[in-house]
Structure 1
Amino acid sequence: MAASNFNATWTLDHAEYQQLKRDSEKLAALERFGVDNWGGYDDAMQSLEDED
């Protein structure tokens, strides 16, 4: 599990780091092949902004 310290840095365990890398690589591949042209893409991105 990620943890923050007083210097605003984060510590991740190896499994978490590997999952983040895989997720990032997957997103990059999907975007290269046009997932951003999918009809629900804008809705999905908006839902992320709404969560913030």
Structure 2
Amino acid sequence: MKCGQRLNTVVYGRAYLILHTHEPYTSDCMLYNLTQHTAYLLNFTVPVNPNL
């Protein structure tokens, strides 16, 4: 699964729980997910990088 894929297909609050409690990620994915959550909290939209 690509980084952020689930984040883009599941409601943010639920995705956060799934991403951080059930699925292992590489450091790059963790950074990507952290960026996604931070952007969400700041009400900004971060485009998905298909290369991740």
Q: TM-score, normalised by structure 1?
A: 0.40
> By percentage of residues, which structure has more helix?
1
Highest CA radius of gyration, 1 or 2? Answer: 1
Q: TM-score, normalised by structure 2?
A: 0.40
> By percentage of residues, which structure has more strand?
1
Between 1 and 2, higher relative CO (CA 8 Å, sep ≥ 6) is seen in 2
